Chain A
Amino acid sequence: MSHLSRSPTDGYPTETSNLQAATESTLIDHIPDTDDTSAATLQKNAHIQFLIRNLVQGFPSKYTSQDASQPWLMFWTVQGFSVLGVALDPTNKQKIIDTVMAWQHPDGGFGGGPGQAAHLLPTYASVCTLAIVGRPGPGGGWDQINREKMYKYFMSLKQPDGSFLVTHHAEVDVRGIYCLIAVAYLLDLLTPELVEGTPSFIASCQTYEGGFSSASQPYYSLSLNPTTPAPTPTQPSVLDSPRPPLGEAHGGYTFCSLASWVMLQPLTPSSEPKPEINYKRLLRWLSNMQGSEVEIGGFKGRTNKLVDGCYSWWVGGSFGLLEAVGVGGHGDPQGLHDDGPASAQDTENWDDVDDSLFNRKALQEYILYAGQHPAGGLRDKPPKTPDAYHTLYCLAGLSSAQHRVLPSPTRRNVLLDAWESTRGMFVTLPRSRDPLDSLRKSVFADALSWSEEEGTSKFVGGNGNRLNGTHPLFNLTMTHTEAIMGHFYKQKVPTRKKAKAGST
């Protein structure tokens, strides 16, 4: 595989280029010979065994560093099973529900473990775990989530600039915002009050590179801008500018920002000042995160950093989110296939079925060749060991490179037609006058309109590598998303046409 060109160093080596070169040398060794087909096989059994070990036997003591992330360890494990198409038996499901419910804080939200303070990140991981294993009724988890207190907890973290602390006395960052909005979507907790100012905050985190940073620095001082109307004493006024991003564009923060942005579309003010993000710059940045052939097409998380399997989901998954807001699109480019040396990418008529804006085939190859640990579990890159986090995000990334899951206007209309006005949690008005009813309806229909585009799935290494599709906003299967949202919005979700491949 030495014919692949290495990243240029321009005769000017630095620490970055040295590290890059060493990584490329390792990755090249993981590109299989063309006659070796076994390398492209997803070792499902080995990965399932890895997950079962984690679930049943538990984690070795080096995972003590994740003691405040127990809900994440659980979510990564059970969602790993879902993507791999493994259903859990009722006994284990019940044990998981009981474990998760021990993390709920008496004042609302979930903590990183029993007795730990509530925190937005474990709240997302707990609720998503319950979406997978829970059910309505006593002991099922869903009806034991204290939604009133959770909403109050969310509001207690809200900052005047539209952002949220991840927990009390802690940092603001877009991971927390994503987790909060995703949970509010799933549990029917979204209100205009909750997310007022949030779209502007997210927009302020976009950097000059196009991706998003962890947070921005608010400026409350009005002296900088005399044209801004004086604030009322209870509402500090936040300036649109300057609100500089803290930290550079980053794959994880970009996913969280973009997913939040997409979910907030029904609530983003259409009047001036309308918050905006630059889609063109964002797309360019996302696209530049894909490593070259010598990096087997894996994704990196920042400019001039190394590829890492987890960005398969955070960055690879962001392309679908952009398409959901109308960036991307279809159609055959004119006059492109007539010239140039045929690259290895062209050999399977791959392009004919691929409307994505990134190289889906190469990303699958990265995960299959470099992401799999021979003993089971997936990883950042060789020669690293596998872990629970990388196992899920490599699998979810592989799934998103196999399937194109996009909002379907047809499906959305079906959901809107089937909507029955129900009472949300906050309402005392008669249903017909409930101002939140139309918001809840559109949130419900938007979230569940995502569907796999038929005939566009593609499996490097053969159909045996097929993984279940996963919802680009939540990282839950469609079935689990429909079940939990149907329950909390009190809706009967119309059945989907069963896709040929049996999508769950």
Chain B
Amino acid sequence: MPTIHTDPPTLYAERSDWADVTPQAQYENVNPLAPIFYTEEYKDATDYFRAIVKSGEMSERVLELTENIIRQNPAHYTAWQYRYKTLLTIKAPLDVELRLMDELAVKHLKTYQVWHHRRLLLTETRKPVPELAFIARSLKADEKNYHTWSYRQWLLAYFNDDELWDGELEFVERMLKGDIRNNSAWHHRFFIVFQSGTRKGDEDRDEVVRRELAYVKQSISQAPNNASAWNYLRGVLDHSHTPYSTLQLFVQLYTVPHSPGETAVEVIDLENPPPSKDSQLPCPAAIEFLADIYELEGGNGIPKATELWKSLANEHDTIRKKYWEYRIREALQSTGP
């Protein structure tokens, strides 16, 4: 439990400035099942909060009360909702509120409400740029936090302002450099490159696709067994309607074991970076990809795809046996007599 006061806690019930409020118990005439054993401080604060909601009071002391409750239980959405309405009603300074949120967001990263409250504040203050640095700091505490990433995406899309977008590709590259397997960062990359309109300098969409393919191939060559990178590769191809077969030379390098006499490649083919020497091959994601190419080829491709799916089902990816069998069934049915 977070510590609320440095002094011994004072209950609202003992405070003269709250003497005009009659606290309201949670349950009246009901003896609830599955009850929670609250601390005295929480019970006290929420008893007073229920009374305030009933009376409709919106005042400075309501901000103190709701902050107290939120610190004890950041998921108390009614306290957040009431706090928000109070802030607007009494015209409280929202930049002060935002500084308080800086502290609470990092403390309670996994709570929906801290992030949504921030959104509400930003739509009022309309100063999105400093948020980017705040988000970057929050991600240090939890690099895959769903709310933090969604908040960043919302901020970019909602304000849609060039100053916000300028360093975004660089930012996501830094995140991916820190952990090439961070799927949240890969998703962010897709969001900024393909799903939010065209940014300055990215008007040549074919060039953007080439750049992204080069980036993801390089990433796969560093750590081939990285599902995030393969999914990104597929995402780029699907989005740009680029045939999978254009990647055949590249993926084939990853579908076979390292050869015993393999030495450092003398001439690096930039289009088709090879798997790193410590990588574990064959890579099931590459086999799957090659099978997809064969399946799309049709005709003689189908038996070749089937062989690959069988190798996944029986050797390289046995947990998904049922799925690979399904793929075989589907491919045979769609080409059947």
Which residue numbers of A lie inside 8 Å of B, CB to CB?
A: 7-12, 14-17, 54-56, 58-70, 73-74, 77, 92, 95-96, 98-99, 102, 111-117, 119, 167-171, 207-209, 213-215, 217, 224, 242, 244-250, 281, 283-284, 287-288, 290-293, 297, 302-305, 328-329, 331, 333-334, 336, 339-341, 343, 345, 351, 354, 356-359, 362
Contacts and interface: CB of A to CB of B under 8 A. Distances in A.
Interface of B: 1, 24, 26-28, 30-39, 42, 46, 50, 53-54, 72-78, 80-81, 84-85, 112-113, 115-116, 119-120, 143-144, 146, 149-150, 153-154, 157-158, 178-184, 186-187, 190-191, 194-197, 222-228, 231-232, 234-235, 238-239, 276-280, 283, 310, 313-315, 317-323, 325-326, 328-329, 332
B81 A167 contact: yes
B36 A67 contact: yes
Contacts of B320: 287-288, 290, 358-359
Given A61-B1, A247-B150, A303-B227, 9 more contacts: A10-B224, A12-B279, A58-B36, A62-B1, A65-B73, A73-B34, A112-B78, A303-B228, A362-B319
Contact of B38 (A61, A214, A357): A61
Contacts of A214: 146, 150
A470 B36 CA distance: 28
A116 B158 CA distance: 30
A209 B314 CA distance: 25
Contacts of A305: 144, 183
Given A340-B315, A343-B318, A64 B325 contact: no
Given A331-B329, A340-B315, A10 B310 contact: no
Nearest to A336: B325
Contacts of A99: 27, 30, 32-34
Contacts of B38: 61, 64, 67
Nearest to B111: A65
A92 B315 contact: no
17 contacts: A12-B180, A55-B33, A95-B31, A98-B30, A115-B78, A116-B77, A208-B234, A214-B146, A242-B195, A242-B196, A244-B191, A244-B196, A303-B231, A304-B182, A357-B326, A359-B320, A359-B321
A281 B231 CA distance: 10
A88 B261 CA distance: 69
B73 A15 contact: no
Nearest to B25: A114
Given A11-B278, A96-B33, A244-B157, A357 B323 contact: yes
Nearest to A218: B157
A115 B34 contact: no
A54 B34 contact: yes
Contacts of B149: 247-248
Contact of B321 (A68, A244, A329, A345): A345
Given A287-B320, A304-B183, A115 B53 contact: yes
Contacts of A16: 179, 181-182
Contacts of B197: 224, 242
B157 to A, nearest CB: 4
Contact of B146 (A250, A284, A329): A250
A80 to B, nearest CB: 11
A113 B69 CA distance: 15
A58 B37 contact: yes
Contact of A70 (B34, B112, B232): B34
A287 B30 contact: no
Q: Which of A66, A336, A354 has the most CB of B within 10 A?
A: A336
Contacts of A224: 197
Given A115-B26, A215-B150, A340-B315, A64 B72 contact: yes
Contacts of A70: 32, 34, 36
A244 B150 CA distance: 11
Contact of B238 (A7, A14, A115, A208): A208
B143 A74 contact: no
A287 B54 CA distance: 50
Contact of A247 (B26, B80, B187): B187
A459 to B, nearest CB: 18
A87 B319 CA distance: 36
Nearest to B192: A244
A10 B279 contact: yes
Contacts of B154: 217, 246
Contact of A12 (B74, B77, B150, B222): B222
A119 B158 CA distance: 25
B27 A64 contact: no
B261 to A, nearest CB: 19
Nearest to B110: A65
Contacts of B186: 248
B329 A64 contact: no
A376 B296 CA distance: 50
A310 B164 CA distance: 37
Contact of B315 (A329, A334, A341): A341
Nearest to A92: B33
B78 A116 contact: yes
Nearest to A14: B179
Given A244-B153, A246-B150, A334-B328, A303 B319 contact: no
Q: Which of A98, A215, A303 has the most CB of B within 10 A?
A: A303
Q: Which of A302, A356, A362 has the most CB of B within 10 A?
A: A302
A46 B99 CA distance: 47
B195 to A, nearest CB: 4
Contacts of A334: 328-329, 332
A59 B196 contact: no
A61 B39 contact: yes
Nearest to A246: B150
A278 B292 CA distance: 16
Contacts of B183: 248, 302-305
A330 B195 CA distance: 37
B313 A340 contact: yes
A377 to B, nearest CB: 14
A65 B269 CA distance: 55
Given A17-B181, A63-B36, A244-B191, A304 B318 contact: no
A437 B244 CA distance: 48
Contacts of A304: 181-183, 226-228
A222 B329 CA distance: 45
Given A61-B1, A73-B34, A169-B81, A8 B225 contact: yes
Contacts of A65: 73-75
Contacts of B54: 115
Nearest to B85: A169
Closest 3 CB pairs of A and B: A11-B278, A340-B314, A208-B235
A24 B276 CA distance: 24
B34 A358 contact: no
Nearest to A75: B34
A345 B325 CA distance: 14
Contacts of A112: 76-78
B231 A11 contact: no
B322 to A, nearest CB: 5
A228 to B, nearest CB: 16
Nearest to B311: A340
A12 B319 contact: no
A111 B187 contact: no
Contacts of A10: 222-226, 276, 278-280
A249 B186 CA distance: 11
A167 B34 CA distance: 24
A290 B321 CA distance: 11
A349 to B, nearest CB: 14
